[in-house]
A = this chain, B = another copy of it.
């Protein structure tokens, strides 16, 4: 990068917040995208750590002047390479902007983009409220969670990030600082630019602050593992839970062989050994009475749905252990993983997608462990390393699974987004006109294509 650009950056944020020493930037080059598919980062980059939206505005104006790409970066927990600097440019880390103010009367958190999920959960808790979503790694930052419209297991009751965010402050690629929405629950003034920016993965603007709706704190929760001998029974119970009027925090589908393997690697024991196909249902209610009522209805429904004896965990310790095992599936598989898919289908079609994966396993003699956010129809399929498999064979497998998800009325990514690694599949999902509109929108927001230039759009 040009010497004078770096000097100007220093004059904007201060010398100490412009970092270019190799060992200091290393931690900013990659995210959690599995190694075999992640793109190579360019190391001719500087990491800039602004302290305010005004500084970000100046940085983006400078980037336009020198036509230098800017890569906004949150916690680096993404799985699609959306923040990887694939070409020379500026890595814009929001880490210093991490304040959170909770407005208890309006049940709103005003959170700066660099605050982490953990910070938000703790700030809500201290205020006697809760932030119910839990899209994985607690090191994820608010800006990234919103830019990537994160989801996760706990999206049933209160929805995904898009549903919780009521306002954002955003610096546009051309430098203007714009506030969209705020602490308001209804807002019908003009086109909803906020919802356009949510999910745009750092290509339409740099989110600097957000107003996020919090929830009352649930005081009573239980985690129930429900085993079934047949997969149809397990997944067939999901819509019945909803129709019964039970709205759990999460309904996860797991298979025993996988969770037992993960438990073992953690030195733990999976508490439900009676059958292969299992639902994990997390109930969370605002009173013990309400929890008992809902639990009773759920257990009645289990009987009518062909379940074997459910395991009910009510102590914090038991529940945490189950969740720990469930949460560590990804990290346990990661060393041997090529990719994690997150295709999403209408919930009742999840079974068809899993069957397709099983058929592919049989056909190719490979192992593709799955688990899913069953309440959302969101399936995680892991492509593992197999001897002699080339990139092309993985691509083929991925395309078959995506095509099947689309055929079932679904989509190729429900959570992780397109980022860098999935751009080549966008044309499978979207028609030519939609892509053309998206490209035109990008040009309107970012005429010089300086903000995360090679992401999202094919």
CB pair B293–A242 under 8 Å, yes or no, is: no
C-alpha gap A246/B155 in the complex (Å): 19
Stretch of A23-31, A177-185, A263-271 lying at the B interface: A177-185
Q: Please, what's the 1-or-0 string for A318-352, where 1 marks a CB less than 8 Å from any CB in chain B?
A: 00000000000000000000000000111111000
- The verdict on A305 contacting chain B, using a C-beta distance below 8 Å, is no
- The verdict on A186 contacting chain B, using a C-beta distance below 8 Å, is yes
Residue in A196, A345, A437 whose Cβ sees the most chain B Cβ within 10 Å: A437
CB pair B186–A344 under 8 Å, yes or no, is: yes
- The verdict on A36 contacting chain B, using a C-beta distance below 8 Å, is no
C-alpha gap A106/B108 in the complex (Å): 31
The contact of A239 among B105, B414, B441, by CB within 8 Å, is B105
The contact of A108 among B107, B294, B346, by CB within 8 Å, is B346
CB contacts (< 8 Å) of A397 on chain B: these are: none
CB contacts (< 8 Å) of A258 on chain B: these are: none
CB pair B106–A348 under 8 Å, yes or no, is: yes
Q: Please, what's the 1-or-0 string for A45-56, where 1 marks a CB less than 8 Å from any CB in chain B?
A: 000000000000
Q: How many residues of A contact B (CB 8 A)?
A: 96
C-alpha gap A17/B377 in the complex (Å): 41
CB pair B410–A182 under 8 Å, yes or no, is: yes
CB pair A129–B187 under 8 Å, yes or no, is: no
CB pair A376–B185 under 8 Å, yes or no, is: yes
C-alpha gap A414/B183 in the complex (Å): 12
6 A-B pairs with the lowest CB-CB distances in the bound complex, closest first:
A245-B286, A186-B414, A195-B195, A105-B348, A183-B346, A216-B245
Which A residues have a C-beta under 8 Å from some C-beta of B? 103-108, 128-129, 148-149, 151, 155, 159-160, 162-163, 172, 174, 176, 178-193, 195-196, 198-200, 204, 216-219, 239, 242-246, 285-287, 289-290, 293-294, 297, 344-349, 373, 375-378, 409-418, 426, 429-431, 433-435, 437-438, 440-442, 444-445, 456-457
Q: Can you list 10 A-B pairs, Cβ within 8 angstroms, ordered by A?
A: A105-B239, A151-B188, A162-B192, A181-B411, A184-B345, A184-B411, A185-B344, A185-B375, A186-B415, A191-B200
